Structure 1
Amino acid sequence: MRIRIDLAYDGGAFHGWAIQPGLRTVQASFEDALATALRLERVRVVCAGRTDTGVHARGQVVHLDVDESVVVRSAGRSQDPPLDALARRLNGILDPDVRVRRVVAAPEGFDARFSALQRRYAYRLWDSPHDVDPLRRSHVVAWDRPLDLDLLTEASAHLVGHRDFASFCRRREGATTIRTLLELSWARDASGTIEATVVADAFCHSMVRSLVGCLLAVGDGRRPTSWSAEVQAGLSRHPAVTVAHAHGLTLEEVSYPPDDELAERARLTRALRTEAGDDDG
């Protein structure tokens, strides 16, 4: 059977999602916990989006394939349904900076990565560093210059659409940098926190933080609003674009089509992108 698992994690103490020898990563920690919970020697999962070092997630999605009898056996004497028992067992094994939000049987054709329609990230900042809430400092970036949301919004409009984002990505051999950016908007809440909402079909490596870094130079007045379009048109990494700090970024949500469209969505996505090309905030 294929299982869908929804995860949340604080990325501050992890070296990103993907397994790296000798380093603590979300994937390694989660797969170890799964292997323990299912009483298997090894488990491998597929995730919706591979987050960078220090990036957080509220809406990460993974899938794994496992024999149904293994899941039933792992529940032991629990009176709960086997997948509910698995969720509770995982949260008892995992460190507190990773939480399982739900475990369900995946519908036919579901692929956590390739069936996804879009990913939604949020990037959070304070532009009044003296007012930074110390209890949120690991999730919100302190910016030392006032930011103009009108300038940010104007510059962001140049980037929305189906474009080549090579200027904002770390290239990977054989990977496409063409993406459809569906939303790039800015808002300030009652606490003064500025939040960028970034939605796309998928993201290249470091794309979200590069977009934010470029736009912040406009928002604080160092660059004109046309600069974002100039950078994008260059189709190569611009030396003046700073990649924004990782701890301000959170993967909030991954969206999928109706169940009867999952398999076709996965087929189309695979045809558009190579294995190296998708997906990293």
Structure 2
Amino acid sequence: MRIAFGVQYDGRPFRGWQSQRDGGTVQDELERALCAFAQTPLKTIVAGRTDTGVHGLGQVVHIDTELERTEFSWVRGTNTFLPETIAVQWAKPMPEPFHARFSAFERTYFYVLHVSAVRSAMLAGLSGWVHTPLDLDAMRAAAACLIGEHDFSAFRSSQCQAKTPVKQMHQIDIRQQGSFIHFRFRANAFLHHMVRNLMGCLVAVGRGRYPVEWLSEVLASRERHLAAPTFMPDGLYLAQVGYPEKFAVPAATLASVPWGVVWSDPATS
């Protein structure tokens, strides 16, 4: 039997998603909790790995098991053994063709950026921060060149293991809410550090360090050293993973961020 789970986590205490020999990752904690509940080791397959400090609002995983439990039992039972920074939001039996990673056709990331002359102690690790105002119109204009299918090598980590740097960017939205700027990135898939590298470039344009046209030049160059430094992970959230309707994967709960998420409208192409 294949069971899918929706998982939410605060990435601050963990060394990213992927299991490591000495532990300390979200996957390690989730598999430990599943084992404690099921009384047998269970291996998880994830929709998308997240880095150290990156958060999950709508992460999706699946397991294969012969254990039969109700959806409610999977959720409550697993959460009993999880730390307070990780919580299973839903569980659902899936047909054999479903695969948390390979069945997904798109991913959506949010980045929450706090703009303030001084940093907030209450937002440490939960939001990015810049101390100078940003030009939203310039950032929006610069981001327009990223929409469509492109080689995103200029925004790819040297440690990226993706087979190809070519990805389809469906949507980039930038909205302001008080002292916060909310970014939404929706694509078929993302490269390692891709969103954080794009954020570094957009913030550089927003600060007036580069003209709007600079970002299209960086994209066309395919050279990572020409782009801005990788931006901090603090405000990055894996918000939603898209699957074919036939699997009826529950939508992520996006209103869980303490200061509120402005994306009440669904992501559309």
Name the TM-score class by shorter chain.
Answer: 0.7 to 0.9
* Aligned-pair CA distance for 1:192: 1.9
* Aligned-pair CA distance for 1:260: 7.1
Any idea what SS the aligned residue of 2:169 has? strand
Partner of 1:100: 88
1:84 to 72, 77, 81: 72
**Aligned partners of 1:71 and 1:86 also within 8 Å:** no
Q: Which has the higher Rg, Structure 1 or Structure 2?
A: 1
Any idea what SS the aligned residue of 2:183 has? strand
Q: Runs in 1 of length 4+ with deviation above 4 angstroms? A: none
**Aligned partners of 2:75 and 2:90 also within 8 Å:** yes
Does residue 37 (structure 1) correspond to residue 24 (structure 2)? The answer is no
Q: Residues 22 and 108 from structure 1, CA distance in 2 versus in 1: closer, same or farther, beyond 3 angstroms?
A: closer
**Aligned partners of 2:154 and 2:226 also within 8 Å:** no
Task: Report the aligned-residue RMSD.
Answer: 1.8
Query: Where is the helix percentage greater, Structure 1 or Structure 2?
Result: 1
Letter in 2 for 1:17: W
* CA–CA separation in structure 2 for the residues paired with 1:174 and 1:205: 8
Match runs of 1:93-132 below 5 Å = 93-130=81-118, 132=119
Any idea what SS the aligned residue of 1:246 has? coil
1:147 to 124, 131, 134: 134
* Aligned-pair CA distance for 1:185: 1.6
Q: Residues 96 and 173 from structure 1, CA distance in 2 versus in 1: closer, same or farther, beyond 3 angstroms?
A: closer
* CA–CA separation in structure 2 for the residues paired with 1:118 and 1:182: 9
Number of equivalent positions = 248
* Aligned-pair CA distance for 1:173: 5.5
In the alignment, structure 2 segments of 5+ residues that lack a partner are: 250-269
* Aligned-pair CA distance for 1:128: 1.6
**Aligned partners of 1:139 and 1:248 also within 8 Å:** yes
* Aligned-pair CA distance for 1:178: 0.7
**Aligned partners of 1:38 and 1:71 also within 8 Å:** no
Q: Residues 133 and 174 from structure 1, CA distance in 2 versus in 1: closer, same or farther, beyond 3 angstroms?
A: closer
* Aligned-pair CA distance for 1:107: 3.5
Per-residue CA deviation, residues 249-269 of structure 1 (Å, 9 max, x unaligned), is 00111111121799xxxxxxx
Any idea what SS the aligned residue of 2:224 has? coil
Q: Residues 177 and 197 from structure 1, CA distance in 2 versus in 1: closer, same or farther, beyond 3 angstroms?
A: same
TM-score normalized by structure 2?
Answer: 0.87
* CA–CA separation in structure 2 for the residues paired with 1:165 and 1:6: 29
* CA–CA separation in structure 1 for the residues paired with 2:47 and 2:219: 26
**Aligned partners of 1:107 and 1:259 also within 8 Å:** no
Partner of 1:13: 13
* Aligned-pair CA distance for 1:60: 0.2
Partner of 2:49: 50
Does residue 63 (structure 1) correspond to residue 62 (structure 2)? The answer is yes
Per-residue CA deviation, residues 142-199 of structure 1 (Å, 9 max, x unaligned), is 102210100000000011110010110124467211100111121001x321011000
In the alignment, structure 1 segments of 5+ residues that lack a partner are: 73-81, 263-281
Percent identity at matched positions? 37
Letter in 2 for 1:236: E
Match runs of 1:251-270 below 5 Å = 251-259=238-246
* Aligned-pair CA distance for 1:134: 3.4
